[in-house]
């Protein structure tokens, strides 16, 4: 069936979603727009679905949600995993509607659903799956993407996002289905009255918050330091839980950014609701100028990532995820060693694209560092492996450079409620010593070296963009550069073949991580470049690492590498 035939089929249906009907009418006669909406189905990967809202098979709407959920239900039933599913959602446009649609499809398949009655952080879904002994979970969110996006992430009984094999099995069930005729559906009120859908109660939310609080490093330190915080949930799901956990640990002076306090999927004050981006924090920084806090906290719309800014002279300094992760590891190791709570043979887990300064910190405190692929589920899998051996207490911290942190084994996902608590404790700890987090960070760099990490983002939008991404990755594989930015490539790693090759000697080493569409180059002078397509957005990400005696030296190295990569990738 051609794209135009699919479009006409949707137009001929008596669709109940008036927004979808309006979108179909809006693109009438526009072949390019029709093609983009119907040339493919949204990919269902290990992170589930993610796409632009609108009409069509390549858009997020109630019909693509229903089809994905029916496929997921079939997978669960085929594998005798249908005793219960938890569902959560964030503040995005139609998140609550999509959550209820998914619940109705599952209920129609005889699967019990536990649904949060209000928007909640993504990690609370992971907690609910484990606490309620569910076979699976769903959270409706597009994380930190722009407002036009929404998404649908799927979790297993362990509270982790599905692994590759299970996600592939779900995908194969989805593609068998007709989007309109093969979907089982029951009315929401009918499912509620029969008990097939049940709201999650306040008692579970309280258990989640207590599990977060149990990860405190120095109970009482925030109250003792009289920590002052400005907080913005960026119009997302963090408002209730972050404020409550700060209250429970003794942070009483919290100013919430009013313009970004209430849920709003349009994100009117920040087109990109991503705490990595300064623009998203502008409203919070204005409040900081008025109240003069020790710290600005910003959580993304589904509250699994947290960014910070700290007063630095006349301005506020935004910290990168690498910087916060390194500071947290140093803080946790130092304090737990001092107070005698460091476990035997401690373990820290990080994504392999995150800062290598961690290796030096870990070596000082006798901590084993485990590197995993990008995606917090891989950190969750390491926690699960320890739990199976009754050794989960060895895990002290997991983090990704993309602002995701977790201490404790109570969930299997990054948790900005937990991260906000740990960051506040850390700020209070240093405040009692007369230091800001800027001071602490500079001391860290003085001690271990000037590690500079930057990310290049190369957008590849639309159908042509997907092909361009494949072409770029293919070209780089086929034409391995001998140097990047004038620095010799010593090792080249291709994670699709699981081979790491020394370009100088020809030596080959097996890569033990799972196969993934990733290329890595280890250069002279401790430089590094890693390239991978984003798993959540239509772009290629390039991670640059440089280590210098001064920031100017490290910056110069990075600029040379980036200029050469721009040339090789055609940007």
Sign of the CA dihedral 17, 536, 268, 290?
A: positive
Alpha helices by DSSP H, 54-145 = 62-78, 95-108, 122-131
Place of tokens 């408002």: 239
Q: CA nearest 68: which of 163, 152, 191? A: 152
- Helix, strand, coil percentages (3-state) for the chain, rounded to 5, are 40, 20, 35
Residue 454's Cβ-count burial label (10 Å; 0-12, 13-18, 19+) is: middle
Cβ atoms of 135 and 157 closer than 8 Å: yes
Q: Which residues does 355 contact at the CB level (< 8 Å), separation at least 6?
A: 322, 323, 325, 326, 401, 451, 453, 545
Torsion of CA 355, 360, 361, 365, to 10 degrees: 150
Other CB atoms within 10 Å distance of the CB of residue 206: 11
- Shortest CA distance to 348 belongs to which of 324, 373, 366? 366
- Structure-token match 């993304």, residue found: 300
Q: Computed from CA positions of residues 64, 66, 70, 75, in that sequence, does the dihedral angle turn out positive or negative?
A: positive
Determine the longest span between alpha carbons in the chain, in angstroms: 70
Nearest to 144 by CA among 404, 322, 386, 472: 404
367 close to 396: Cβ distance less than 8 angstroms: yes
Find out whether 58 and 37 touch, Cβ atoms under 8 Å: yes
The number of beta carbons lying within 10 Å of the beta carbon of residue 540 is: 24
Report the catalytic residues: 143
Eight-state DSSP code of residue 526: G
| CA–CA gap between residue 112 and residue 136 (Å, rounded) | 11
Contacts of 444 (CB under 8 A, 6+ apart): 326, 327, 330, 357, 361
For tokens 């800027």, the residue is 438
CA terminus-to-terminus distance, the chain: 35
Helical H runs in 389-510? 416-431, 437-448, 462-478
Q: What is the residue whose two structure tokens read 């005798």? A: 80
- Residue 166 burial (C-beta neighbours within 10 Å; 0-12, 13-18, 19+): middle
Closest CA to 372 of 495, 280, 220: 495
Cα–Cα distances in angstroms (integers) from residue 313 to residues 250, 323, 427, 438, 439, in the given order: 27, 19, 17, 10, 11
Tell me 564's DSSP state: H
Joined tokens for residue 171:
């995908």
């Amino acid at each position: 069936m051609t794209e135009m035939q699919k479009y006409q089929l949707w137009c001929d249906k008596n669709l109940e979603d008036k927004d979808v009907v309006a979108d179909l009418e809006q693109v009438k006669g526009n072949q390019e727009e029709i093609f983009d909406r119907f040339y493919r189905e949204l990919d269902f990967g290990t992170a589930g679905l993610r796409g632009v809202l609108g009409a069509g098979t390549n858009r997020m709407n109630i019909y693509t949600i229903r089809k994905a959920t029916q496929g997921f239900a079939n997978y669960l039933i085929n594998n005798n995993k249908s005793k219960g599913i938890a569902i959560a959602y964030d503040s995005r446009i139609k998140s609550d509607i999509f959550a209820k649609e998914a619940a109705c499809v599952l209920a129609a398949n005889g699967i019990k659903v536990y649904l949060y009655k209000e928007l909640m952080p993504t990690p609370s879904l992971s907690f609910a799956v484990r606490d309620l002994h569910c076979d699976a979970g769903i959270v409706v969110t597009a994380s930190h993407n722009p407002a036009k996006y929404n998404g649908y992430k799927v979790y297993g009984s362990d509270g982790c996002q599905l692994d590759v094999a299970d996600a592939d099995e779900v995908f194969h069930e989805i593609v068998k289905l007709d989007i309109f005729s093969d979907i089982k559906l029951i009315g929401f009120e009918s499912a509620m009255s029969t008990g097939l859908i049940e709201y999650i109660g306040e008692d579970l939310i309280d258990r989640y918050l207590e599990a977060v609080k149990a990860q405190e490093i120095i109970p009482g330190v925030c109250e003792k330091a009289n920590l002052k915080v400005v907080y913005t949930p960026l119009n997302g799901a963090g408002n209730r839980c972050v404020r409550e956990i700060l209250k429970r640990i003794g942070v009483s002076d919290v100013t919430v950014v009013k313009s970004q306090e209430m849920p709003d999927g349009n994100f009117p004050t920040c087109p990109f609701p991503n705490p990595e981006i300064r623009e998203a924090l502008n409203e919070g920084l204005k409040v900081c100028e008025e109240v003069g806090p020790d710290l600005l906290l910003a959580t993304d719309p589904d509250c699994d990532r947290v960014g910070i800014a700290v007063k630095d002279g006349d301005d506020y300094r935004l910290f990168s995820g690498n910087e916060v992760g390194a500071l947290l590891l140093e803080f946790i190791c130092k304090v737990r060693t001092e107070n005698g709570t460091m476990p035997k043979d401690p373990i820290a887990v990080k994504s392999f694209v995150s800062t290598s300064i961690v290796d030096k910190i870990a070596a000082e405190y006798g901590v084993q560092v485990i590197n995993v692929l990008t995606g917090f589920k891989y950190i969750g899998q390491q926690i699960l492996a320890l739990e199976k051996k009754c050794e989960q207490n060895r895990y002290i911290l997991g983090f990704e450079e993309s602002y995701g942190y977790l201490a404790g084994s109570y969930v299997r996902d990054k948790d900005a409620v937990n991260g906000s608590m740990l960051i506040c404790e850390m700020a209070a700890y240093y405040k009692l010593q007369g230091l800001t987090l800027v001071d602490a960070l500079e001391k860290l760099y003085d001690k271990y070296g000037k590690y500079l990490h930057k990310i290049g983002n190369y957008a590849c939008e639309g159908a042509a963009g997907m092909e361009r991404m494949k072409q770029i990755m293919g070209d780089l594989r086929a034409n391995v550069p001998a140097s990047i930015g004038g620095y010799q490539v010593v090792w080249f790693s291709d994670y699709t073949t699981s081979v790491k090759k020394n370009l100088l000697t020809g030596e080959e080493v097996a890569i033990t991580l799972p196969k993934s569409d990733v290329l890595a180059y280890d250069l002279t002078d401790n430089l590094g470049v890693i390239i991978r397509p984003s798993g959540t957005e239509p772009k290629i990400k390039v991670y640059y690492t440089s280590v210098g005696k001064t920031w100017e030296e490290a910056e110069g190295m990075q600029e040379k590498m980036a200029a050469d990569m721009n040339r090789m990738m055609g940007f």
